[in-house]
Amino acid sequence: MGRHLMKTADAGSLSATDAGSDVTLAGWIGRRRDHGGVIFVDLRDASGVVQVVLNPEEEPASEEVLHGLRLEYCVQVVGTVRPRPEGTVNPDLPTGMVEVSASSLIVLSESDVLPFPLDGRTDIDEAKRLEYRYLDMRRSRVAENLRARSMAIRAMRNVMDEQGFLEVETPTLIASTPEGARDMLVPSRLRQGHFYALPQSPQLFKQLLMIGGVERYYQVAKCYRDEDFRSDRQIEFTQLDFEGAFWGQEEVLQTIELVARRVVKDLRDVELNEPIVRMTHAEAMRNYGTDKPDIRFDMRIADLSEVFAATEFKAFSGVLGDSGSVMGINGGPLGLARSGLDGLVSQAQDVGAKGLVWMVVEEEGSIRSPVAKFLSEAELREIVSVLDASVGDTLLIVADRTKTVLEVLGHLRLVVGKPDSHDELAFAFVVDFPVFDVADDGSLSPAHHPFTAPADIDTLINTPETAISKAYDLVLNGTELGSGSVRIHNSDMQAKVFEVMGISSEDAEGRFGWFLEALRYGTPPHAGFAIGIDRMVSILRGEPNIREIIPFPKTQSGADPLTGSPSRVESLQLGELGILVSPDVVASWDSEPDQEAASES
């Protein structure tokens, strides 16, 4: 006795070679058109769309087909594939050479009137899309993004398997550890007053795997960070996490490059023929004003301090006399009117500059600028020379503390810079990060987690503000895709690093005693990395926001319009956890806005 299959073919896979074959399809009604009694519908499933023809004169039609068939009804169609009549071929559709002549159509499930159209031709409020994410997924944009995400993860896994890595899952309920962001905490019912933390990364556990002799570990890891949202950030995200024993920086970067090449090939069908560019953190800051440079265009920052070493222009001489810097970029032929140039001044001030000097190179090399009259002819000529300027170019100059100058020009570079192609991919490795971030008042704060190995322990102890770490980032088109480091594999050095970073021996023992002990049992040198999967896929897909890549994301305010999370829980449940909510918080609940309206772009 034969089996009856609900589907014998995928709608999007049918082609001219299938003409004459009988098929059973199942999917959703995407469009419905009634032409003189003959009904045409676009049947959509996960593979794509095919046109189905329902002709009551050729085949008896059901009542649903004639009168009640609506958009997004879930149906099963039995019919025969045939070439489309001459003049009706649709070259924009992969299945546009054929159609399915239906002998029967069965409604598997009806659909209510949709809250928004799914044809992709209408802009929909994001909060509404996320409230009905299961419908949003039927739209081609989201469906293609989810397929791309799956392809990227498969490509990553394939590379890891080929390189001899072992996929190992690590716990998601762990002890709180300092990772640079707030932990997401989970209260314990059995040990009231105690909390688990959701992992910001599998950092310590992957190091334990190296101690345990795994040597090559990876996982597609879910991570959690209680931090403010941005277009490339969510409180829960997914990363490719890997670690290798008897490894240094070079082995890690080689592996990352293999992963990047495979993912780009599978998602973009593009070969990355050149090695990924490498630069130190100091070079990135000096040339681009940021540790995540967009190198699709050059426009490097040039130091003009020597040009103005003897200047009489007080705005510059005062800064240089106060150990500051004067630097600039050549913005190219921007063609801006005075209002546009003044707008750049405002943008520079918004990101911390006291002001901005603009100059436009005119015919015969003359300079148009509000400050040109305060500068000598020699200084103007030297500016044009150092910035390699041509007629029509706009030059932007900032004088301030060196850190401020670099930050402001790094921002303006992204404002006026133009990639040769928006499809271009420019990867870069940034290496040799400082151990500490230095604040304006000279205070130090750790730039990385405390398990990152310093390049030189003596420098870290004696002049920590100049200490370099064995840390590295992968950048794509000006976005950090991930970071990693060579790890500390010696317990004495780890204790010393804790001390320099201001973590007392008592605190270190209380929070990491178990880890410090593990380091004393023949720990191999090891290093690793983590790549943000959603960030990488969003760039390769040309999506400006990772929410378009994540299957069920939160809004910009951290809410989930679909499920209503985060939500309040009953007092009884909180009591079981030993938690009492502040009366002030309870009083504020009545004034909370609806989460469905709490979406910001």
Q: Tell me: the pLDDT tens digits for 395-443?
A: 999 999 999 999 999 999 999 998 877 789 999 999 999 998 888 777 8
**Could you write out the DSSP letters of every residue in 63-86?**
HIIIII--TT-EEEEEEEEEEPPT
- pLDDT value at residue 592: 65
Least confident segment among 64-68, 128-132, 347-351, 529-533: 64-68
pLDDT at 595: 45
Beta-ladder partners of 31: 42
DSSP state of 406: H
Give the pLDDT of residue 68: 79
pLDDT, mean of residues 291-312: 95
Q: With 60 as the cut, is the pLDDT of residue 600 above it?
A: no
Q: How far apart are the first and last CA of the chain?
A: 57
- Tell whether the model's pLDDT for residue 167 goes beyond 80: yes
For the cut 70, the answer to whether the pLDDT of residue 601 exceeds it is no
Six-digit token string for 137: 């997924």
pLDDT digits (tens, 9 = 90+) for 107-118: 999 999 999 999
pLDDT category at 131 given cuts 50, 70, 90 is: very high
pLDDT at 558 over 90: no
Band (pLDDT 50/70/90 cuts) for residue 218 is very high
pLDDT value, residue 597: 43
**Peptide bond before residue 566 is cis, with ω within 30 degrees of 0:** yes
What is the rounded distance in angstroms from the CA atom of residue 212 to the CA atom of residue 204? 12
Residue 65: per-residue pLDDT: 65
d(CA 231, CA 555): 10
Residue 596: pLDDT band (50, 70, 90) is very low
Distance CA 528, CA 201 (A): 12
What's the pLDDT at 599? Answer: 42
- Supply the pLDDT for residue 178: 58
Residue-level pLDDT at 593: 58
pLDDT in tens, 14-63: 999 999 999 999 999 999 888 877 889 999 999 999 999 988 776 655 55
540 or 501, which is more confident: 540
In one-letter notation, the amino acid at residue 543 is E
Q: Which of 593, 569, 564 is nearest to 580 (CA)?
A: 569
Query: Which of these ranges, 226-240, 251-265, 353-367, 398-412, has the smallest mean pLDDT?
Result: 226-240
Compute the C-alpha angle 200/432/167, nearest 5°. Answer: 40
Pairing of strands 38-45, 48-54: antiparallel
Residue given tokens 């007080």 in the structure block: 314
Largest CA distance in the chain: 98
**Looking at the DSSP assignment, which residues form a beta bridge with residue 454?**
469
**pLDDT value at position 344?**
96
- % of the chain exceeding 90 in pLDDT: 73
- The kind and range of the H/E element at 401 are none
Give me the chain's average pLDDT, please: 91
Distance CA 28, CA 11 (A): 10
* pLDDT recorded at residue 132: 96
pLDDT reading at 2 higher than 50: no
Domains of the chain, with CATH numbers?
Answer: 11-109 (2.40.50.140), 143-280+427-548 (3.30.930.10), 297-416 (3.30.1360.30)
Q: Are 149 and 534 in contact (CB under 8 A)?
A: yes
Ramachandran angles phi, psi of 387, nearest 5° = -90, 5
Residues whose CB falls within 8 Å of the CB of residue 215, separated by 6 or more in sequence, listed in order: 244, 245, 246, 524
Residue 540 · residue 477 · CB < 8 Å: no
For residues 10, 14, 20, 25, the Cα torsion angle rounded to the nearest 10 degrees is: 20
> Which of 1 and 414 is assigned the larger pLDDT?
414
pLDDT score for 598: 41
Measured distance CA(546)–CA(325) in Å, rounded = 37
pLDDT of residue 271: 94
Cα–Cα dist 514/512, whole Å: 5
Strand partners, 531: 240, 482
Residue-level pLDDT at 384: 95
Q: Tokens 């992204």 sit at which residue?
A: 414
210 close to 524: Cβ distance less than 8 angstroms:
yes
H-run or E-run covering 49: strand 48-54
